[in-house]
Amino acid sequence: LAQEALAQALHDDAPAPCPGQACVRMAALHYSPQQLLLLCNHVHRAFQNKSPDTLRQLMTPVLTNLHLFRPNELAMVLNHYANTRVVDKQFWQKVSDALPDVFVDADSKGLSIAVNAYARASFRHDGALQAISSWTKYVATREAIPGRSIAMLVNGYSKMRVRDLDLMEALSEQLLVRVPELNGTDIAQVVNGYARLDFCSDALFNALRHQTLQEMSTFTVQNLAMLAHAHARLKRRDEQLLTAVASELRLRCDAGMPIAANHLPSLINAYIERLAFQPADLIRVIEFSLPKVVSQMENFDLVLSVPPLVRIESLCAPPSFRGPIFTHCGATLKHLTCNAVVGILEVASHLRHDCRDFWESSLRHCRRSIAEGTWDAKYMAILSSLLGKLWMDQGSPGSEWPPFSSDVKDDLFQAIVQAVDNSSDKFSLRDCADVALGCLRARASSAAALTLSLERLLHARHGQGTGDADLDDADAHHAERLATLLVDLRGSLDPPAGGERASERVEKK
């Protein structure tokens, strides 16, 4: 009676009269071996009704009858628990310990569903996964595995980073004749799965290309982003396929649909950073989408998306493009690391973003964070060089370039000089030379203080035995740069009447 009442309640999605009564009813449930199908049915109903509490109450009967399940039944149960986010570690551990004994004579469907369940639950049990792998390789020698099952197996093992190369090889051989069965999601899962495991089969990827090009119009943006990201991971620059992906993305943009904030960063990273491939359609996608979605990006995605813009040769960046991007960047700087901040400022300089509010607030943030000791010496040196170039690149009279005041610039250099004085041991000779060059070019008011600090640093290092004979070629070059720059820094308040500075001759050399 209790079983019938529960089945009816689950079927009708009727709420229990009260929590206490429901618990008593579930505790009273007992499934005999002959009622295993009823137990599976109750698990399925609980999954359909999205009832994690009912699934938790059914854990005890599942464990009690574990030895009676057939492989496909147990795979279905695990799949329902995983999809409902019921991942009780003790329950999953007991089921996984018993799985090698239960999964006897399993078929490809049950095997793929089970692996998918473990991946969704993020529960890695090596014994269970090894048993599933062994049975999959056995099945592969006796029958053709459906393309969908292969995609699920590759995706599941790759998500858990189980690099079973023998299994992946067996599945890739099976897939060569199953490619026409795959839809967009299947292809994206296969390509991305093999990329996660760093397994590149040229024969398989070449076979997938034709099917991918045929089915591309049915791919979701997520599928397209997965394809690009997978090829970037494998450093596989398939220009025909990647150009087609960019063209398909542009069609979506031309229809008025910008690429979403959670997909655009991986596309920029794959094409621009990893593959150094810039099809014209991708650049148009970036120009259309980035200003519209940048405000929705998390910090990590922002760092993936903005600094690489400096590498795009034909990027069109009018104020309507730059404004939204750097407005969001300016509001996010305080949450970013020093290398990300420098990367964003380099892009702003490269794209000639002339918003004074952005530059002055950003440089004040840099000054404060440097004074707090949160910056690495390398990035203080890069920032110094950037400011020096900006200050030298004076615009026409009345222009807003460089877009920050002399006071803001001098305050920042003062903080950098103080950092050199306080933590000179963290600055390499190259860092010191870059700071000196930036200070000289920017005509910083703290040039005299910096000169004293760097002269003491250079003298101390030579005194410790790191003379020119002890330096490698690179350090010797930067030591020469630094010594020459110090000469010019000493005379920076009284520049030569004509001719080049000694440091300018060194820089040209």
- How far apart CA 72 and CA 353 sit, in angstroms, is 60
Sequence-distant (6+) residues with CB within 8 A of 296 are 261
Mean pLDDT (whole number) for 261-270: 97
Q: Measure CA 384 to chain center.
A: 29
Question: Kindly report the CA angle at 48 between 44 and 54, in degrees rounded to 5?
Answer: 70
Query: Which pLDDT band, with edges at 50, 70 and 90, does 406 fall under?
Result: very high
Q: Report pLDDT for 27.
A: 37
Query: Which pLDDT band, with edges at 50, 70 and 90, does 320 fall under?
Result: very high
CB 178, CB 150: distance < 8 Å: yes
Average pLDDT, the chain: 88
- How far apart CA 433 and CA 339 sit, in angstroms, is 19
Structure tokens at 68: 């009676």
| Number of other CB atoms surrounding residue 287 within 10 Å | 18
pTM: 0.82
pLDDT digits (tens, 9 = 90+) for 413-438: 999 999 998 888 899 989 999 999 99
Q: Report pLDDT for 147.
A: 94
Q: Report pLDDT for 129.
A: 96
Q: Report pLDDT for 300.
A: 95
Q: Report pLDDT for 29.
A: 61
pLDDT digits (tens, 9 = 90+) for 207-221: 999 999 999 999 999
